[in-house]
Chains A and B, each alone.
Chain A
């Protein structure tokens, strides 16, 4: 079959991918820089294309709770927002994680704190990987660095969500959301029938039948010992995810003296900086974590055995750098360079930051 290639914005690619995946529902509320997600959905009329429900909710809080309800019924449901709106969804995400339900959420990050700015940023790393909502829970976090990955991670994300009964977050930013690139579009998958949903999700509230107990979806257990047991079960699940689901791209690391560590847009900037540095004879590599949880700690720890240092580039005041430090465990110098508040560092500026780092400044 001939490949179907399209020029799409990251935000549009997400929506098209969801329709093609055969997702059942999207609930959202517009906010810059990700309003194209719901705009594209509305334009495409998914209810006609596949029977997928797309609804503009009255607020971000309503949207995430609609996802909670749909997921409880075994539906493949998603929502999207940008930083201030995504903060509003944290309570719902904590409940969904606590109820062990699958869903896909997208954050197209903009500068903060507060209403901040509408320009791109990566300042929601802590919120995404360390919690954000209350309680001991984790999201599986995927960090796309291209429009193609925005498209591909919808399928990967939903599959992981159902495999582990856990919410999956695609952590993007204003650049990846707004940028248009070439996207290879996959075939249209048929949405699951209700029988298939019941078979795939025996835990879902799909209507009690005589041959089984009631399925109850809740995140509440007032017996502390049972809740502790449940927390331990979650930890076990997260450990399995850490073991099996790490994704990471290493570029030019084999002969590298120093490496950049960067995800998403920053990794794209670093690719350019790395090329500029290599042209000047500096052996510089790039580690690009694709999953931020689980974090590619082992890969970084392995590199710490032989490279001279790690420089993280983030559009934040230094968040992911803490995970790099944990992985390197004091063996090598680790530093951070970044711009914030919606300012994007230039590749040349990153070159200078690496040169200063290599000089030990």
Chain B
């Protein structure tokens, strides 16, 4: 199994940390992983993206042009990455701020209203964990117990009391993701 994923959105949406938690979860499950952020001037207040690769085998290129799963969290990322989903692959998006819906017919498209759900939960910070939950429902490549371990390893000790809240958000994402 090799899953090549890109997560793209605004800087500050928790794109990089979501990728890190996913990567750590894969590591805890005993898999090979790579986490490659976009870095450079475009990150200052602009868009941010991260490639995460989880595999049973040694990971080759961390730079990709096509992905098994694309997760987009703003319109710019939708414009840039919808075309990069492999045929038969998966596109997950939050409709908040999306003005042009995806149009491809050869991929599986899922919607998660993460911004709204986070707001309902009274904590905008769990937004990215709701998105992660949606991903894990659609592509169940990592067991829940490893996700929890992933959280434990990627969050600083002082934030460990928030792990149950994060797991709750992941559950929420799993329950609320909708196939288009």
Residues of A within 8 A of B (CB): 5-7, 32-33, 118-119, 174-175, 178-182, 265, 268-269, 271-273, 275, 344, 346-348
Contacts of B36 in A (CB 8 A): 175, 178-180
22 contacts between A and B (CB under 8 A): A7-B23, A7-B24, A7-B27, A7-B35, A32-B39, A118-B41, A119-B39, A119-B40, A181-B35, A182-B27, A265-B62, A265-B63, A268-B60, A268-B62, A271-B60, A272-B60, A272-B61, A275-B60, A344-B63, A347-B63, A347-B65, A348-B65
Q: Which of B34, B40, B41, B61 contacts A269 (CB 8 A)?
A: B61
Contacts of B61 in A (CB 8 A): 268-269, 271-273, 347
B20 sits at the interface (CB 8 A): yes
Please report the total number of B residues contacting A with Cβ < 8 Å: 23
Contacts of B27 in A (CB 8 A): 5, 7, 182
Q: A179-B34, A180-B20 are in contact. List 7 more A-B contacts (CB 8 A).
A: A6-B153, A118-B40, A180-B35, A181-B35, A268-B59, A271-B61, A346-B65
Interface string of B20-46 (1 = CB under 8 A from A): 100110010000111111011100000
Contacts of A119 in B (CB 8 A): 39-40
In Å, the complex CA distance between A271 and B37 comes to 20
Contacts of A348 in B (CB 8 A): 65
* Pair B35/A179 contact, Cβ less than 8 Å: yes
Contacts of A269 in B (CB 8 A): 60-61, 63
In Å, the complex CA distance between A340 and B20 comes to 29
In Å, the complex CA distance between A348 and B63 comes to 11
Q: Which B residue's beta carbon lies closest to that of A9?
A: B35
In Å, the complex CA distance between A175 and B60 comes to 13
* Pair B32/A182 contact, Cβ less than 8 Å: yes
Chain B: minimal CB distance from A16 (Å): 15
B155 sits at the interface (CB 8 A): no
